[in-house]
Amino acid sequence: MDIFNTITGVLARLTAAPEATLAGLLFFLAVVGATLLAMGGVAAARGSRRRDFMPSGHGGAPGSAGRRINEALQSSPVMRRLARHALPDDETARTRIRLDLARAGFRHPSAVSAYVGLRLLLAIVLPALLLPAVPLLSRHLDIAEMVMVAAMLGLLGYLVPVVVVTLRARQRQRLIREGFPEALDLMVVCVEAGLGLDETIVRVAREMEGSNLVVAEELILSSLELRAGRAREDALRNLAARTGVDEVAAFATLLIQSDQLGTSVAEALRVYADDMRARRLLRAEEKAQRLPVMMALPLALFLLPSFMLVLMMPVMLRIFRVLLKI
């Protein structure tokens, strides 16, 4: 309770000081913008690398600006030193961080070091940017409150990359969940036409490039693993782990079991495609059923007072007329 009261008092004093609030806001926006730019640069370089190993006819010009930002981020000696001290010693923790970054689309070999170093760097730089504003803040805050503000900014800088990676991972999973049924229907057509599973994955990836780049990228990575000699079971399990989507994990399990048991892949894919279409219809119906419940609170907050005002206005006018005559 004391900490909450202290934070509330600090925020009230900063709000009462326009120049201090403006300075803090500018520093915050600068650092958050730099973070998002760095993450966008890594994503742009990742997209350019994906276009490099696209089949012929589906390539594109690499993003030079994103590549330069990515190379500067990965080759910075400050980032490497910070990452060397901040990387967890446990290999399981490193693998978990690497998997989270892969699900967000960051697959560079130094992505883990850059991610950990960026978190620690922002935790140091963001409070340090308040140093020019110390003369302004000292008029309204004492030393303890300024230290608390710096600690809050450091915590904010440490958590900004986590939020960015989490949001990107959720966005990619949503795109995969929306585009995978179409990819599965294309697989059924290709397998029934006589193509093998490896050729089917490559062909579907080419077809999906124009409609869903995320699904196309994941399928192309799986085809490259198969082309490099990795076992089909391992490539499918890696596909499920990279995406983190339940539908893709069930698809990988289905193909692995079909391969092991010797059943028809085309029949298994057709049944699973029908099941995925039924699931998509059920999700749409579930959202439609939740809509009235979600609309109840906004209707009660915004429309009900207006309705009550319209209904009570004649009565209130008549009461006022009677009172004025008295």
CA distances from 324 to 157, 318, 319, 321 (A): 63, 10, 9, 5
What's the pTM?
A: 0.67
Q: Residue 151 pLDDT more than 60?
A: yes
Q: Which residue has the tokens 């990619």?
A: 172
Give mean pLDDT, residues 157-171. 89
Nearest residue to 179 (alpha-carbon basis) of 141, 205, 152, 142: 205
Q: For residues 8 and 236, which has the higher predicted lDDT (pLDDT)?
A: 236
Alpha-carbon dihedral 215, 218, 220, 224, rounded to 10 degrees:
-170
Tokens for 53, please give them.
Answer: 């190993």
pLDDT tens, 213-256?
888 999 999 889 888 888 888 988 999 998 888 888 988 888 88
Alpha-carbon dihedral 100, 106, 110, 115, rounded to 10 degrees:
-60
Q: Residue 156 pLDDT more than 80?
A: yes
Give mean pLDDT, residues 37-62. 43
Q: For residues 14 and 111, which has the higher predicted lDDT (pLDDT)?
A: 111
Integer Cα distance of 272 and 17 in angstroms: 62
What confidence score (pLDDT) does residue 167 get? 92
CA distances from 261 to 192, 247, 274 (A): 19, 21, 21
What confidence score (pLDDT) does residue 133 get? 67
* 8 Å CB contact between 162 and 119: yes
Integer Cα distance of 43 and 49 in angstroms: 10
pLDDT tens, 281-324?
888 888 888 888 888 888 888 888 888 888 888 888 888 888 87
Integer Cα distance of 222 and 237 in angstroms: 10
Tokens for 64, please give them.
Answer: 């030079």
What's the first-to-final CA gap in the chain, in angstroms?
54
Angle between helices 213-227 and 232-243 (to 10 degrees): 150
Chain centre distance of CA 153? 22
Q: For residues 174 and 7, which has the higher predicted lDDT (pLDDT)?
A: 174
What confidence score (pLDDT) does residue 308 get? 84
Alpha-carbon dihedral 36, 38, 43, 48, rounded to 10 degrees:
140
